[in-house]
Structure 1
Amino acid sequence: MPPAPPDPGPTGGIFYAGSPIDRAAQDRTAPDRIARYLTDGDTLLVPCWRGLHLIVQESDNAARIELPRLRTVRSALGLLDPAHWTFLGYLEQRPLFALDLGHLELPDALFPEARGTFRELRPLAGLLPPGDAAILAQARGMVHWRARSRFCGVCGAPNRPDQAGHRQVCTADSTHVHFPRTDPVVIMLVRRGEHVLLARGTRFGPESRMFSALAGFVEPGETPEEAVAREVWEEVGIRVDAIRYHSAQPWPFPGALMLGFIAFAQDETLRLDPEEIAEARWLRRDEVRNPEGFTLPAPTTIARRMIEDWLEEA
């Protein structure tokens, strides 16, 4: 029986966090144990197919992920090539593997007993229990990284999976070892007095009316706080200070870690970067509670959590 997972502590209601999985990193280097799990009919699978997942929509307001057992998968033997699976850990003391089916054209036939169908996560995320969303965040991140690290980034030779899918080792030079990648992104709620700054990004297209917090990637040689100050200056021409951490969120689209911060503006004069920001507004709490002409980010986002926390301060 695997040991009980450590308590991750409070997640503050952050969606995609609070995973129920014991990642059991110590078992990734136990090949005999992993091999035994891949012959155990009770082993659980997270099927992933070209960005879609096996999801059961139980009603207009509820959905859940389906985790078929290995014994229920038709022609499972051919799928157990190490190129297709990654050990995620234990769920309720049962081994759990992500199964990448991207090489198949019609994966539905593999799951004759399944109630779910392969669906996109983002439109249904808000209907899922938080634990289900966190499971898919881990599975999506690993499948995405594995699919994009099939070749060595140093010499171009094929990689082989190692440590139950958590390392990629170059077949030409075993000293070339590659590990899963997560991209750090800062997202910041800029405040001044009783106002908050929300903006509409150009990447969402002219039809979008969603106003959200500013965000950007952390660059090499930069702390998250430095990235906050730089991104705010570059995108809206505002200098900020008193930068403080709020919370973090795994963001599986495809594999980022959102680092949430609060920052305070030194002035209110906006100078927008037209390549990044289509529109930005200083808004009062009543304007955010009752938005007119714009929408707020989805409840599953850390941006929405930071906005809601700001609203609750009053």
Structure 2
Amino acid sequence: MNTKPLAFTGSRLDRADNIRADADALAALTNWRARLLLLDGLMPRMDDHGALAWGTLADAVDDAELVFLGLDEGKACFAAVPQHGDARPRMANPALWAAMQALSPDDLAIYGGARSVTDWHARHRFCAACGGPTKLAKGGWQRTCSSCNTEHFPRTDPVTIMLVEHDGKLLLGRGLGWPDRAYSALAGFVEPGESIEEAVAREVLEESGITVSDVSYIASQPWPFPSQLMIGCHATATSEDITIDTTELADVRWFTRAEVQAAMDGDVDAPMNTPPPHAIANYLLKWWLERV
């Protein structure tokens, strides 16, 4: 299997969790050596070499909340919380897609983590328990209510994304509003009280009318739009009889190994286009094709 890391994984930063809760240690790191990730809102700035642009803490807007991202060769790295968050999907921002394609894997991992946590802070300035204002705590890995002291933590939403197989064919779907030949693995959020296996079975049944068994884990990927953990799985279908949920999907169909391979090879006559290279769905298709 291709060992190239998934997009948004492999950050070089040491998260230094022990420092987050130590106010004195954290304060000692906020000096002239500290680095500030330069962002325009939640968009990354690039330097002359196409890498993430970094400044000093002097570049932060007055009174900006600073999130401690971790240590890079002993230097503390921070990102400022923007005035507004952005819960839109990645596809809604073409400039962001272009930046994702330009950044190196290491920079993309740093940016993804910074985007997720600063976006969460921007959208959680008030307490869900009492409505009071919250303030940043533990280096940015917590918010505490100023009124009732309720503690809030950055959230990550688990999403199952699964390859469903039957007799050497794959079940793939096309979302509403997607281009005609754009197909990908079925996916859906894990609901409260569900295991990963149960979420896979429920989502596949809801979207395609197909029951599955033998759910197994393949790989996972953080996806910072706004903050999800994509949990890649494989499952075996009990039949090929499709009943599409037209409220969620435009189409669901079976693809042969040859058809999937042609699409991954860039064949313009293939019946489908592959998911973008940064998405875990692309990785899952490669994994499936490389299985003996």
Match of 1:187 among 137, 157, 161: 161
Q: Is the 8 A contact 2:166 2:236 kept in 1?
A: yes
- 1:50 aligns with 41
| Partner residue, 2:28 | 36
How many residue pairs end up in the alignment?
276
Deviations 1:129-152 (A, max 9, x none): 211111011101111110111000
Cα deviation, residue 211, structure 1: 0.4
Query: 1:286 deviation in Å?
Result: 1.6
Alpha-carbon shift at residue 14 of structure 1 (Å):
1.3
Change (3 A) 1:195 1:57: farther
**Equivalent residue for 2:274, pick from 293, 296, 301:** 296
Per-residue CA deviations over 1:226-260 (Å, capped at 9, x if unaligned) read 00000000000000001000010000011000011
**Residue 102 of structure 1 corresponds to which residue in structure 2?**
83
Q: 2:123 aligns with which of 143, 148, 169?
A: 148
Q: Which residue of 1 aligns with 2:89?
A: none
Residues 20-64 of structure 1, C-alpha deviations (whole Å, 9 max, x = no match): 1110111012222322333x2221111333331112475xxxx42
On the 8 A contact 1:190/1:197 being kept in 2, the answer is yes
Matches of residues 147-226 of structure 1 in structure 2 within 5 Å?
Answer: 147-174=122-149, 176-202=150-176, 205-207=177-179, 209-226=181-198
Q: Distance in 1 between matches of 2:259 and 2:169?
A: 10
Gaps of 5+ in 1: 1-9, 104-118
Structure 2 residue ranges without an equivalent (≥5): 85-93, 264-269
**What CA deviation, in whole Å up to 9, does each residue of 1:74-95 have, x standing for no partner?**
xx4x43x3x5210011012210
1:309 to 265, 271, 287: 287
Q: 1:206 to 1:247 in 2, by over 3 A?
A: closer
Correspondence for 2:228? 256
Answer yes or no: is the 8 Å Cα contact 1:188–1:260 preserved in 2.
Answer: yes
Measure how far apart 1:206 and its partner are: 4.8
Distance 1:303 1:207, change over 3 A: closer
1:11 and 1:259 map into 2 onto residues whose CA distance is 17
Q: CA deviation at 1:217?
A: 0.3
Contact 2:161 2:233 in 1 (8 A): yes
Query: What is the letter of the counterpart of residue 169 of structure 1?
Result: T
User: What is the Cα-based RMSD across aligned positions, in Å?
Assistant: 2.0
Counterpart-to-counterpart distance in 1, 2:100 and 2:236: 31
The question of whether the paired residues in 1 share the 8 Å contact of 2:66 and 2:80 is answered with: yes
Which letter does structure 2 place at the counterpart of 1:25?
D
- The 1-side partners of 2:207 and 2:46 are apart by 38
In structure 2, give the amino acid aligned to 1:225.
E
Equivalent residue, structure 1, for 2:249: 277
The 5 A counterparts of 1:234-249 are 234-249=206-221
> Which residue is 1:19 aligned to?
11
- 1:85-136 alpha-carbon deviations (Å, 9 max, x no partner): 1001101221000123437xxxxxxxxxxxxxxx943323233221111101
| Segments ≥4 residues shifted beyond 3 Å | 206-209
Q: Percent identity?
A: 40
TM-score by length of 1: 0.82
The CA distance in 2 between the partners of 1:54 and 1:98, in whole Å, is 12
**TM-score under structure 2 normalisation?**
0.88
Name the SS for the 2:15 alignment partner. coil
CA distance in 2: counterparts of 1:269 and 1:67, whole angstroms: 53
CA separation of 1:206 and 1:179: change in aligned 2, threshold 3 A: closer
